[in-house]
Amino acid sequence: MPVCSRSSAWVLATFSKSLFALSLGKAALSRPGSPLLAPAAGQASTRGSMTATGMSQRMVWVDLEMTGLDVEKDQIIEMACLITDSNLNILAEGPNVIIKQPDELLEGMSEWCKEHHGKVTEYEFLSFVRQHTPPGQCPLAGNSVHADKRFLDKYMPQFMYHLHYRIIDVSTIKELSRRWFPEEYKMVPHKKATHRALEDIRESIKELQYYRANIFKASEKNCTIVENGEKKNQKTQMS
């Protein structure tokens, strides 16, 4: 066993304890009906059932930092998660985890630890979203989150199974705003580009708050409805 620094040894011991706790049901990540996949207290047992209308409108914000964009060879370095309501108020702050460990630390792990390295992370994030969202109801949200989704689909499938299949991608709204509302787009808050997962999520939420306040305006106006290629005006009170 390679000689580890004192800090690496402490991290290894802490991580091993987490793995041991998971080993009590280590097949849980892939076995239907396991404790990991079973509904949390207060949740219905059927996917798609609702306990509260407000909870179904929540958004699960995720940001990953990866070594690259190739899901076949690149790795997740860091992951963070936040929950907001439909008005983009932050309701809960989840784990913010550095996933990729130093090579000397990985070399010091047993083969079983290496195999399950990352599954502990999935369990931690899955436990968090199950506490705050009903199964199958809330979409994944973020900036260019389609790229994050590819990695999550591969490396954290049970986490993704809990979420709705749709996504809320702030980058799509950004590109549409740049084309349709260029003046408003000029005032979009600038990002700090820290490349830290939690800070990136907060900036994405702030950006979407700006679009909501300045572009998705709710007021009484004439709505243009297109039916069979013909435009019809309809006065509507939007709320």
Catalytic residues: 195
**Lookup result for tokens 């243009």:** 224
- Sheet bearing 59-66, strands edge to edge: 90-98, 76-84, 59-66, 140-142, 167-169
Nearest to 210 by CA among 239, 238, 187, 178: 187
Nearest to 215 by CA among 185, 190, 238: 185
**What is the pairing mode between strands 140-142 and 167-169?**
parallel
Nearest to 130 by CA among 198, 204, 47: 47
Question: Distance (Å, rounded) from C-alpha 144 to C-alpha 147?
Answer: 6
